[in-house]
Amino acid sequence: QVQLVESGGGLAQAGGSLRLSCAASGRTFRWNFMGWFRQPPGKERECVARVTWSDGSTYYLDSVKGRFTISRDNAKNTVYLQMNSLKPEDTATYYCAATYGSNWSEYDINYWGKGILVTVSS
């Protein structure tokens, strides 16, 4: 059984920073992709960022480019999301996700975290 456990969410002011962490435990193997989705209140879930486990290449949602940075620690099976210059529209429940597959979409995810709330006040 694999578990993804998120931490680091909470309340931040606009312009501030938060760092999310996601630690994988249990029967883990070499992921293909690991990253973060988010679901703002009343909206659909969207991919925020992902990292390719083998080479560290990254993908970002256009609206977070230049503000968010995803990184990984292979030895700890942990992925991080550093969020700077936060905006009220970043308010959402953030979900850690991982997949062994070759595609990165919410329909191809093998494991999800429970989600962690990030609230950005104006």
Q: What is the DSSP string of 76-121?
A: GTEEEEEE-S--GGG-EEEEEEEESSS--STTS-SEE---EEEEEE
pLDDT digits (tens, 9 = 90+) for 60-106: 999 999 999 999 998 899 999 999 999 999 999 999 999 999 999 99
pLDDT digits (tens, 9 = 90+) for 34-56: 999 999 999 999 999 999 988 99
